[in-house]
Amino acid sequence: HTSKMSQIGIMATGITHEMTQPLTYLNNYLYTLYDDLTTDNTILNNKLRNNLEIANKEVNRLINLVNHIQEFSRKDIEEIRIPIKFSKVINQTLLLMDDQIQSSNIRLIKNIQKDLPYLNVNPNDMEQVFINLLQNAIDSLKEMENNAILEIAIYQKKEQNKFFIEINDNGKGVDEQIRNKIFTPFFTTKPAGEGTGLGLNIIQKIIEKYGGTINCRSSDGQGASFVIALPL
């Protein structure tokens, strides 16, 4: 039984890994197509917008499902960890999300320290962390009419023997009353059907698996900063 479950886990991981990238691309292209439509209120455009909105929600639902299957299945199989450069992973993730960033008029700032060490991790884990955190930041910034800023900082502090990743935005922020709940499973501030409330919880589990921590610094209406610390 254990062997069979392990094989199912391996198969599920392979399938979901192959599905993740095309689904993310499709999600971004649907978003861009929707955003590029003219504001002409013709019946055709209204119907097209409605269909695109439905398609976008369903793709997001599939992405969430794939992420959750990945998280479940990886518990039953031995993980592969390889030395990776975080700058490469973040740049690959930004390529997937570039259309959303551009169409939302978000100013992207990258402060990546040179000559950073390689870290021995599973690259799929880190891609999932970045996608979730960046998507949350983009969602927060979409409501801003101008001056939306998304900053990514990656650096090390040798005296602490730690490696830091910061995702900062100047969006609506996280209210102090709910800040201690955001990593709780199924807690979400998004409307019904738009969030599972599992994203930040999964991120926290991934980071803790590598002996690291993730914290949120924020004030309501003054942006949010998610800080990840990993041991070197």
The pLDDT tens digits of the residues spanning 104-136 come to 889 999 999 988 888 888 887 888 889 889 988
Return the percentage of the chain with pLDDT > 70, whole number.
58
pLDDT at 13: 54
Instruction: Catalogue the E-assigned strands of 65-212.
Output: 82-84, 106-112, 119-121, 148-157, 162-169
Residue 14 has pLDDT above 60, yes or no: no
Backbone CA torsion sign across 206, 210, 213, 214:
negative
Average pLDDT of the residues of the chain:
75
At residue 87, the 3 state secondary structure works out as helix
162 touches 232 (CB < 8 A): yes
Residue 72 has pLDDT above 60, yes or no: no
